[in-house]
Amino acid sequence: MKGCKVLGVKGDPLNPLEIIERAKKDGRKVLLEPESKTLCSLYGIPVTVFDVAKDEEEAVEKAKKVGFPIVMKIVSPDVLHKSEAGGIVVGVKDEEEVRRRYKEIIGNVKKHIPNARIYGILIQEMAPQGIETIVGCIKDPQFGHAVMFGLGGIFVEVLKDVAFRVAPLSKEDAEDMIKEIKGYPILKGYRGSKPADTASLIDILLKVSKMVEELPIINQMDLNPVFVYEKGAKVIDARIIID
Ligand code: ADP
Ligand code: MG
């Protein structure tokens, strides 16, 4: 759990229910990115290294610990789409830039959403670009949890190229979901491009399934994007919504 700290939750090891309870006490159904990523990592799902800074000095200190270049993101329960609110900067390269971007991000968000509660700035490792995928989950009143998989960007937004399976998932279910999407050749490797590590994606799908099985209070989950590489995969952004 190195580098994984959740707002207001002191001391490791963290318990998934503590994170959920804390959000409830704060009157929230939406878990913040650091909370959602901590839950994921408690289930063994690989996430970016991250930490939350409460002021500019802490941002500098934590950026140095994570190692440059870093990504800085707003942590606010009132900001659902961080990029739209000017709440993200990628590729921050040194201390001077951390200080400048810290003020800039808070300024952008305040301009965009004047009364937004700001809980801090998320400092995270800058992950190398991989193939963008999405892993999600929704809860249907009749069928229960269904896990979703798709390729990111236009594949999901325009082409709705996604696969669903009702949880709990078997390994075969997870394999079929990945093979069933139309964009599968992009993962399999085409025209000499190397195949992506679909075994890592299968592992993430199975862990998501286990998580919602054990935490039925989860209403929705969006891991978007999940970068997949030749070797390994990593959750870049995460949002979990509870009942
Ligand atoms: P939101 O969806 O709330 O706008 P994201 O956290 O998904 O914000 O970030 C937007 C985009 O920025 C991502 O799709 C990804 O391309 C890039 N990004 C975010 N975090 C990182 C990171 N740690 N490393 C590399 N790229 C990132
Ligand atoms: Mg996102």
pLDDT, tens digit (0-9, with 9 covering 90-100), for 107-123: 999 999 999 999 999 99
Report whether 31 contacts 41 (CB < 8 A).
no
Judge if 213 and 186 occupy the same domain: yes
Please report the pLDDT score of residue 193 as a whole number.
Answer: 85
Nearest CA to ligand 1 atom 6: 237
Angle between helices 33-42 and 198-214 (to 10 degrees): 100
Other residues' Cβ atoms within 10 Å of the Cβ of residue 87: 24
- Give 155's pLDDT tier (boundaries 50, 70, 90): confident
Please report the pLDDT score of residue 159 as a whole number.
Answer: 78
- Give 158's pLDDT tier (boundaries 50, 70, 90): confident
Domain boundary among 76, 107, 125: 125
Domain boundary among 125, 143, 168: 125
Nearest atom, ligand 1, residue 33 CA: 6
In a domain, 76, yes or no: yes
Give the residue numbers spanning the domain of 112. Answer: 16-42+49-125
Q: Any idea which ligand is nearest the CA of 80?
A: 1
Judge if 85 and 99 occupy the same domain: yes
Q: Which CATH number belongs to the domain containing residue 206 in this structure?
A: 3.30.470.20
Mean pLDDT of all residues in 61-85: 97
Count structural domains, the chain: 2
| 237 CB within 6 A, ligand 1 | yes
Cα dist. 61→9, 56, 87, 216, 226 in Å?
20, 9, 20, 37, 27
Judge if 187 and 150 occupy the same domain: yes
| 31 CB within 6 A, ligand 1 | no
Judge if 77 and 158 occupy the same domain: no
pTM (two decimals): 0.94
Judge if 55 and 120 occupy the same domain: yes
| 136 CB within 6 A, ligand 1 | no
Q: Which CATH number belongs to the domain containing residue 75 in this structure?
A: 3.30.1490.20
Ligand 1 mutation pick, 36, 47, 88, max ligand atoms within 8 A of CB: 88
In a domain, 2, yes or no: no
Asked whether the CA dihedral 238, 160, 198, 164 is positive or negative, the reply is positive
